[in-house]
């Protein structure tokens, strides 16, 4: 039977059968945390979201019937070490830990599309949305939101999404035990955050590079003010940025320069 093997992650857990968005719930709870303290590692978990949020203002479709929608609270100084210097690594270490947990539980080949889409081949099985808020004591806390397509039937997604998405149950041919997966996920997240805080991101760059399906490929990125850059994704920089060898840039005449892209 699966059991929680973490110190902090998931030890306080708020479970609902439905909510607007677990990220919104966690952010609100943090803003009100002088009334009810929210410990580091607190988890918000739901079966179904009616206003699930994706990156870049998109909607995250969150049907019931067996997926995972969860948000995890990271406080600024867990165990006394400041998270601040490594903030830009939070989306990437989360993607790495989640990919590890999914691969370990299902045996499926999971890859990461920079900065933090979870894929099987080219199909999306999960996404991550990190948001920050200021607590009543003026310190900044981070909410890590993770949405995973696990057991919910693909036809419960809108038609325009089913082409680009898949689920673990479809790929593996059998339903996945979500409790075991969550226990593995919280453990991997906690261990990776511990390592990030003690060793910094150096080792993580290599590991991310190995899991990342983006590197070596030609990518097209939309930047601010409609700027579109096409180029070859070359490497991950020291703050987790993606370095692109530019082929064409709508804002500038083509030049073979190296552009560093940071996730919004
Ligand atoms: C993306 O790929 O666009 C990120 C999707 C993140 C979805 C998760 S589900 C749990 C948490 N609550 C939300 O409203 N969003 C995140």
Burial of 117 (0-12, 13-18, 19+ CB in 10 A): middle
Gap between the terminal Cα atoms of the chain: 39
CA of 220 to the centre of ligand 1 (A): 23
**Does residue 2 surpass a pLDDT of 90?**
no
| Per-residue pLDDT at 155 | 84
- As for ligand 1, residues whose beta carbon falls within 6 Å of it are 21-23, 49, 52-55, 58, 60, 69-71, 117, 127-129, 145-147
Token pair of 47 as six digits: 């079966």
The answer to whether residue 1 scores a pLDDT higher than 70 is no
The alpha carbon of 125 and the centre of ligand 1 are apart by a number of angstroms equal to 12
Helices (H), the chain: 22-31, 90-106, 159-162, 168-172, 178-199, 202-211
Choose the residue to mutate in 13, 16, 30, 145 for probing ligand 1, maximizing ligand atoms within 8 Å of C-beta.
Answer: 145
> Residue 224: pLDDT band by 50, 70, 90 thresholds?
confident
Distance CA 195, CA 3 (A): 22
Query: How many Cα atoms are found within 13 Å in the side-chain-facing hemisphere of 59?
Result: 11
Domains of the chain: 13-211 (3.30.930.10), 218-261 (no CATH)
CA of 61 to the centre of ligand 1 (A): 9
Give me the chain's average pLDDT, please. Answer: 94
| Predicted confidence (pLDDT) at residue 254 exceeds the cutoff of 70 | no
pLDDT tens, residue by residue, 171-190 = 999 999 999 999 999 999 99
> For residue range 120-148, what is the model confidence (pLDDT) as tens digits?
999 999 999 999 999 999 999 999 999 99
Strand pairing partners for 13? 43
Q: Does 39 have pLDDT greater than 70? A: yes
User: What is the model's pLDDT at position 98?
Assistant: 98
Categorise residue 152: left if φ over 0, alpha if ψ from -120 to 50, beta otherwise.
Answer: beta
Query: What share of the chain has pLDDT > 70, as a percent?
Result: 98
Is pLDDT of 256 > 70? no
What pLDDT score was predicted for residue 159? 76
Q: Whose CA is nearest to atom 9 of ligand 1?
A: 147
163: confidence class by pLDDT, cuts 50, 70, 90: confident
């Amino acid at each position: 039977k699966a059991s929680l093997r973490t110190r902090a992650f998931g030890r306080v857990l708020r479970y609902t059968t439905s909510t607007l968005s677990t990220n919104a719930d966690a952010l609100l709870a943090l803003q009100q945390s002088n009334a009810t303290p929210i410990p580091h590692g607190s988890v918000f978990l739901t079966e179904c979201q009616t206003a699930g949020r994706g990156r870049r203002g998109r909607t995250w479709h969150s049907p019931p019937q067996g997926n995972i929608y969860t948000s995890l609270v990271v406080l600024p100084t867990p165990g006394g070490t400041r998270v601040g210097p490594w903030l830009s690594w939070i989306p990437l270490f989360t993607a790495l830990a989640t990919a590890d947990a999914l691969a370990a539980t299902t045996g499926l080949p999971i890859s990461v599309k920079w900065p933090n889409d979870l894929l099987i081949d080219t199909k999306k099985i999960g996404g991550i949305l990190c948001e920050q808020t200021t607590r009543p004591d003026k310190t900044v806390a981070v909410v890590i939101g993770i949405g995973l397509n696990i057991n919910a039937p693909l036809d419960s997604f809108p038609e325009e999404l089913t082409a680009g998405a898949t689920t673990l149950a479809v790929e593996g041919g059998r339903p996945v035990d979500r409790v075991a997966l969550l226990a593995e996920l919280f453990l991997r997240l906690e261990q990776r955050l511990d390592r990030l805080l003690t060793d910094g991101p150096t080792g993580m760059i290599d590991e991310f590079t190995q899991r990342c399906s983006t590197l070596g490929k030609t990518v097209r990125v939309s930047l601010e003010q409609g700027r579109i850059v096409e180029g070859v994704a070359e490497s991950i920089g020291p703050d987790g940025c993606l370095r692109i060898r530019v082929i064409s840039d709508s804002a500038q005449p083509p030049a073979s320069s190296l552009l560093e892209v940071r996730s919004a």
